[in-house]
C-alpha cells in the first residue's frame, strides 16, 4: 500500500469509508461481516478509517470501536460531528444538522466513548450548520484540539469561501467531499483552495455510489437506500447514464483493470493530495478496490475518461433539493 500526506499523518493512499457497514445503502451487515471487512482492510495495509456519528446513529462508531480498539495504534481514525440522529421521543431517531459549539462537544464525548479511544485523529464538521457561523463551529473544534480530544480538524461538503473562513480560525487538515468522474464539483474552486492552504482532499463516493462498478438494478435497491432519492438514479436519468458504461468498461479493459479500479486510479492520478475512501460490505470488492494503487494511467487515457464522463454527459443532479440545501459546495451552472 502506498501512502500520502494528510496533515501530520501519513495515511494509506486508499482509505476505508465505513458508512456502508451500518448506513445508507440498505440494512446493516452483521457484526461478524463488519469485523471481517475492517480487519481485512487493516491486514491489506489500509491505515485510514472514516466513520461518523450519523452512520447508523452511532452504530458505525460503535462497530469501529469494538473491532479496532486492539489495533488503535496502527491507523489514523477519522469521524464527524455536526450531523447526527436525535431521539424523537418515540424510540426512533431523526437526522439533524446542528453545529452549535455545545452540540459539537457533546457529540465528541459520545464518539470517544463509542470508538473506545482517548483521541480522534481527524474530526470533521459533517455539514456546516448555516444557522451557526462557521467560525463558531470551528472554534468549538479548536477547543477540542487544545483539550487533546481530537488532533486535527476537517470539514465536509464546504465551498472554498467557507474553507478559507474556517482556516482563519484554525488550520483545516482535510476537506471531504464527493468526488468522482461523475461528480466533479470540487474542480470548480475548493480543490484549488485546499492546495493553496495545504489542506488534504478526501474523496468520498469515489466509484460514483456504485455506478462505476457495473450496472445496478435500481429496482432492487432497498426501500431505504439513499440512491432512491438521488436524481441520477431516477429511472429515466439512470437509463441515460447507463449508456456511458460500455465505453467506460472498454477503457477499463484497455487499462488492464476492473471498472472500480479505473475510477479509483483516476482519482489517485489527479493529485498526490487526493485520498479516496471507497466503502463496501464485501471483502472481495474491498480487495479489488485496494489493487487500484498499482494501476497506471497515461495522459491520453485520462483525457478520454474525462471526456466520456463529466458534468455535460451525466444526466441528473447528484442530490435532491433537500440535500442540496444542506451542503455548501460549489455547483456547475
pTM as predicted: 0.97
CA distance 216 to 218: 6
pLDDT, residue 214, reads 84
Is residue 319 flagged as an active site residue? Answer: no
CA distance 85 to 58: 8
User: Does the structure show a pLDDT above 90 at 52?
Assistant: yes
Section 144-164 average pLDDT: 98
Q: How buried is 197 (Cβ within 10 angstroms: 0-12 exposed, 13-18 middle, 19+ buried)? A: middle
User: Does the structure show a pLDDT above 90 at 312?
Assistant: yes
CA distance 288 to 282: 10
CA distance 133 to 135: 5
Q: Supply 14's cell numbers.
A: 486508499
pLDDT, residue 86, reads 87
Give the tens place of pLDDT for each residue, 80-108: 999 998 888 887 889 999 999 999 999 99
Let me know: does 18 contact 55? Beta carbons within 8 Å: yes
Residue 131: partners with Cβ closer than 8 Å, 6 or more residues away: 99
pLDDT, residue 187, reads 98
Give the tens place of pLDDT for each residue, 218-268: 999 999 999 999 999 999 999 999 999 999 999 999 999 999 999 999 999
Residue in the block written with cell 424523537: 88
DSSP-assigned beta bridge partners for residue 74 = none
Q: How buried is 196 (Cβ within 10 angstroms: 0-12 exposed, 13-18 middle, 19+ buried)? A: exposed
pLDDT, residue 89, reads 82
Give the tens place of pLDDT for each residue, 13-46: 999 999 999 999 999 999 999 999 999 999 999 9
Q: Which of 25, 55, 248, 319 is catalytic?
A: 55
DSSP-assigned beta bridge partners for residue 86 = 94
Give the tens place of pLDDT for each residue, 188-223: 999 999 999 999 999 999 999 999 998 899 999 999
CATH class of 3-326: alpha beta
How is the chain split into domains, by residue range? 3-326
Amino acid at each position: 500500500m502506498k501512502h500520502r500526506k494528510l496533515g501530520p499523518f501519513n495515511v494509506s493512499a486508499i482509505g476505508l469509508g465505513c458508512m456502508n457497514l451500518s448506513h445508507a445503502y440498505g440494512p446493516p451487515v452483521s457484526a461478524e461481516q463488519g469485523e471481517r471487512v475492517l480487519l481485512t482492510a487493516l491486514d491489506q495495509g489500509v491505515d485510514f478509517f472514516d466513520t461518523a456519528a450519523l452512520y447508523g446513529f452511532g452504530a458505525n462508531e460503535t462497530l469501529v470501536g469494538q473491532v479496532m480498539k486492539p489495533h488503535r495504534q496502527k491507523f489514523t481514525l477519522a469521524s464527524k460531528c455536526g450531523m447526527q440522529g436525535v431521539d424523537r421521543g418515540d424510540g426512533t431517531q431523526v437526522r439533524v444538522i446542528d453545529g452549535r459549539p455545545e452540540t459539537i462537544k457533546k457529540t465528541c464525548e459520545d464518539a470517544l466513548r463509542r470508538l473506545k479511544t482517548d483521541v480522534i485523529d481527524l474530526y470533521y464538521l459533517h455539514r456546516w450548520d448555516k444557522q451557526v457561523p462557521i467560525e463558531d463551529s470551528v472554534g468549538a473544534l479548536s477547543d477540542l484540539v487544545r483539550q487533546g480530544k481530537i488532533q486535527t480538524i476537517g470539514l465536509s461538503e464546504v465551498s472554498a469561501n467557507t474553507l478559507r473562513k474556517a482556516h482563519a480560525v484554525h488550520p483545516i487538515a482535510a476537506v471531504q467531499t464527493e468526488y468522482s468522474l461523475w461528480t466533479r464539483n470540487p474542480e470548480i474552486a475548493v480543490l484549488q483552495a485546499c492546495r493553496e492552504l495545504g489542506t488534504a482532499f478526501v474523496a468520498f463516493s469515489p466509484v460514483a455510489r456504485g455506478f462505476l462498478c457495473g450496472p445496478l438494478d435500481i429496482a432492487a435497491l432497498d426501500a431505504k437506500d439513499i440512491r432512491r432519492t438521488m436524481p441520477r438514479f431516477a429511472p429515466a436519468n439512470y437509463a441515460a447514464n447507463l449508456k456511458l458504461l460500455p465505453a467506460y468498461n472498454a477503457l477499463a479493459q484497455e487499462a488492464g483493470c476492473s471498472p472500480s479500479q479505473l475510477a479509483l486510479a483516476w482519482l489517485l492520478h489527479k493529485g498526490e493530495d487526493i485520498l479516496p475512501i471507497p466503502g463496501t460490505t464485501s471483502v472481495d470488492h474491498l480487495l479489488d478496490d485496494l489493487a487500484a494503487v498499482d494501476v497506471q494511467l497515461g495522459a491520453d487515457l485520462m483525457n478520454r475518461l474525462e471526456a466520456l464522463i463529466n458534468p455535460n454527459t451525466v444526466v441528473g443532479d447528484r442530490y435532491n433539493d433537500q440535500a442540496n440545501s444542506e451542503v455548501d459546495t460549489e455547483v456547475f451552472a
